[in-house]
Amino acid sequence: MLGHWAQTVLERCDQLAACSEVPGQITRTFLSAPMREVHRQVRGWMEHAGMQVRLDAVGNLIGTYPAAIPEAPKLLIGSHLDSVPDAGRYDGVLGVLLGIALVEALAGQRLRFALEVVGFSEEEGVRFGVPFLGSRAFAGNFEEKLLELTDIAGVSVAQAIRDFGLNPAEIAPSEGDYLGYLEFHIEQGPQLEAEGLPLGIVEAIVGQSRLEFEFTGQAAHAGTTPMHLRRDALAGAAQFVLDAERLARETPGLVATVGHMAVKPGAGNVIPGAVQLSLDLRHARDAVRLEALERLGHTARQIAHERGLGVAVAAKLEQPAVPMDAWMQSQLATAMQELGYPPYKLQSGAGHDAMILAQRMRSAMLFLRSPGGISHNPQEAVLPEDVAAALEVGLRFLECLERSLPG
């Protein structure tokens, strides 16, 4: 029975994987054209499951399955529907579809709380460099200046929202009394596989800083400019990338990534005059991350000084580590133990919407094993039996919540 729903979830992940900005890969950024088709399909599944569906002003798709009684609180379940470039098919999407499958598996049974399943419009921070646009709006944490961010084509967040037929002036937090938020997500790392376990409870999500550096030098002729007279922005940027890698290798638990670089003017016979690069820095302890951030700022200035370059830094995200709610974790642990799954706990190195929701309500995450530990990659995978296990634990978790309510 749950195997059937698990199969349905996986088939739906395949169907949504076909909705992409780039033929032949999965690339779906904030409110891009293929998101309309994603919404059409997800809305259909939600409605078929007996949910009332709405789209909020930032493009979050929300389905509500009413409670047995009026004025009941809600449990929110969800994740995000956007993706990184050339993504896998489960990051985010799986958590939304598991929420819908849980409602379907209830087969019409009403609970003493409503279920709200949400597909957040943006979590990855790809199009505008700043993540969590969907969950920030939902949680009432959407600063107005976010609307002015622009993408690579110069389109602002406000314009992207209008282009999708929505009104940025209507962005408002979701109202109501929430028992909490539960996010199912693939682990995206190797720990559960190494332990031989299908599922794990997230204790905390590590903090992250995202920045953009720009090194500026002098664009000049590659054939005529002697080496000692060059101000090569890319050579400085390359030195910075290696220094960041070295610092992270030397600092236990620190991860540093330069995942994007734009070289201008970008021709083989022109010395690079300017380079923009991203830096993503994460650690479970905020103090370690912040110290590394300061050191890398100093490193960038030092490199620029030695090479006669300019350097500018823009902070895109400063997100402290977030513990998951202890009570929600205990309910998940009870559900797992009752079903014979060890309630293994782990930290998340990836960022998640649950980090943002935790500012508004009790939040928890259940991780599913990631075969090969691979994610942000088209080879991302999940095992059908682990999806069935997540559904089983999810249903038992709902029972645990029912038991915990007074009366």
**Gap between the Cα atoms of 206 and 349, Å rounded:** 5
Residue 236 vs 351, nearer CB to ligand GLV = 351
Interface with Mn ion (CB under 5 A), residue total 2
Residue closest to 279 by CA, chosen among 307, 249, 318: 318
**Gap between the Cα atoms of 355 and 21, Å rounded:** 27
Binding-site string for Mn ion from residue 308 to residue 327, where x marks contact by CB under 5 A and - marks none: --------------------
Residue closest to 315 by CA, chosen among 129, 63, 87, 37: 129
For residue 240, the SS3 value is helix
Interface with ligand GLV (CB under 6 A), residue total 3
Window 79 to 118, contacts with Mn ion (CB under 5 A):
91-92
Residue 255 vs 313, nearer CB to ligand GLV = 255
* Smallest separation, CB 21 to ligand GLV (Å): 18
Window 81 to 140, contacts with ligand GLV (CB under 6 A):
124
Among 62, 103, 157, 350, binds ligand GLV (CB under 6 A): 350
Q: How many residues does the chain have?
A: 407
- Give whole-number Cα distances, 236 to 73, 215, 232, 233, in Å: 55, 7, 7, 5
Residue closest to 177 by CA, chosen among 74, 304, 295, 282: 74
Residue 351 interacts with which of ligand GLV, Mn ion, none, CB < 5 to 8 Å by class? ligand GLV
**Gap between the Cα atoms of 365 and 369, Å rounded:** 13
Residue 124 vs 325, nearer CB to ligand GLV = 124
Determine the residue with CB nearest ligand GLV. Answer: 351
**Gap between the Cα atoms of 192 and 173, Å rounded:** 35
- Is residue 206 a contact point for ligand GLV (CB under 6 A)? no
Q: DSSP secondary structure string, 11-77? A: HHHHHHHT--SSTTS----TT-THHHHHHHHHHHHHHHTT-EEEE-TT--EEEEE--SSTT--EEEE
* Smallest separation, CB 132 to ligand GLV (Å): 9
- Buried b / exposed e across 235-258, counting CB within 10 Å, b at 16+? bbbbbbbebbeebbeebeebbbeb
Q: Tell me the CB-side half-sphere exposure of residue 54, using CA atoms within 13 A.
A: 8
**Gap between the Cα atoms of 174 and 1, Å rounded:** 33
Q: Beta strand pairing status for 74-80 and 114-120?
A: parallel
Residue 289 vs 396, nearer CB to ligand GLV = 289
Residue 236 interacts with which of ligand GLV, Mn ion, none, CB < 5 to 8 Å by class? none
Window 234 to 273, contacts with ligand GLV (CB under 6 A):
none
Residue 214 interacts with which of ligand GLV, Mn ion, none, CB < 5 to 8 Å by class? none
- Give whole-number Cα distances, 23 to 20, 126, 238, 338, in Å: 7, 18, 31, 45
Residue 130 vs 274, nearer CB to ligand GLV = 130
* Smallest separation, CB 181 to ligand GLV (Å): 17
- Is residue 351 a contact point for ligand GLV (CB under 6 A)? yes
- Is residue 280 a contact point for Mn ion (CB under 5 A)? no
* Smallest separation, CB 180 to Mn ion (Å): 19
* Smallest separation, CB 73 to ligand GLV (Å): 29
Residues engaged in binding ligand GLV (CB under 6 A): 124, 350-351
